[in-house]
């Protein structure tokens, strides 16, 4: 499958990781607490981890956050989300976010998910 990747999605994740490491050097306590908090938000509870990744992907599309789109597209793929589930999550974001969410959802987010699903 050939997808028109507007960016190398692996490079996007690497860039965020590198920048996070830079901030972590100066603000280690803040970084540790932030990751502890977000890790707890994504732990399985009444909602499974896949569902939480789909929710996060939908929010990322709605807010037009490319970095989170890639991160949560990868998370959805890693938690065995099906393409139809991802498209439905994107659809919810589009319903709330209109045209801007449409363009981000049907291109960048969907392509990122397909990229990571193939790995």
104: nearest Cα among 79, 54, 52, 68: 68
pTM reported for the whole predicted model: 0.85
Mean pLDDT, residues 9-25 taken together: 94
Q: Specify the residue for token string 């540790």.
A: 32
Q: Reduced to 3 states, what is the DSSP secondary structure of residue 32?
A: helix
What is the spatial distance between Cα 77 and Cα 83, in angstroms, rounded to a whole number?
9
User: How does pLDDT run across 29-46, given as a tens digit for each residue?
Assistant: 999 999 999 999 999 999
* pLDDT, position 42: 98
Task: Judge whether 118 and 79 are in contact, CB under 8 Å.
Answer: no
What is the spatial distance between Cα 27 and Cα 43, in angstroms, rounded to a whole number?
24
Q: Specify the residue for token string 């790995």.
A: 119
* pLDDT, position 53: 98
* pLDDT, position 2: 45
Q: Grade residue 6 by pLDDT with cuts at 50, 70 and 90.
A: low
- Please list, in sequence order, all residues whose beta carbon lies within 8 angstroms of the beta carbon of residue 50, skipping any fewer than 6 positions away: 76, 79, 80, 81, 85
* pLDDT, position 31: 95
Q: Grade residue 5 by pLDDT with cuts at 50, 70 and 90.
A: low
93: nearest Cα among 80, 106, 83: 106
User: How does pLDDT run across 65-118, given as a tens digit for each residue?
Assistant: 999 999 999 999 999 999 999 999 999 999 999 988 989 889 989 999 999 999
Q: Grade residue 7 by pLDDT with cuts at 50, 70 and 90.
A: low
Phi and psi of 84, rounded to 5°? -60, -40
């Amino acid at each position: 499958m050939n997808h028109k990747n507007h960016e190398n999605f692996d490079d996007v994740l690497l860039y965020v990781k590198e920048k996070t490491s830079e901030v972590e050097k100066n603000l280690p306590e803040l970084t540790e607490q932030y990751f502890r908090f977000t890790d707890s938000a994504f732990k399985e509870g009444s909602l499974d981890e896949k569902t939480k990744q789909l929710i996060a992907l939908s929010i990322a599309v709605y807010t037009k956050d490319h970095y989170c789109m890639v991160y949560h597209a990868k998370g959805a793929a890693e938690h065995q989300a099906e393409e139809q589930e991802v498209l439905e999550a994107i659809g919810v974001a589009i319903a709330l976010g209109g045209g801007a969410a449409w363009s981000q959802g049907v291109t960048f987010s969907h392509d990122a998910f397909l990229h990571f699903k193939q790995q």
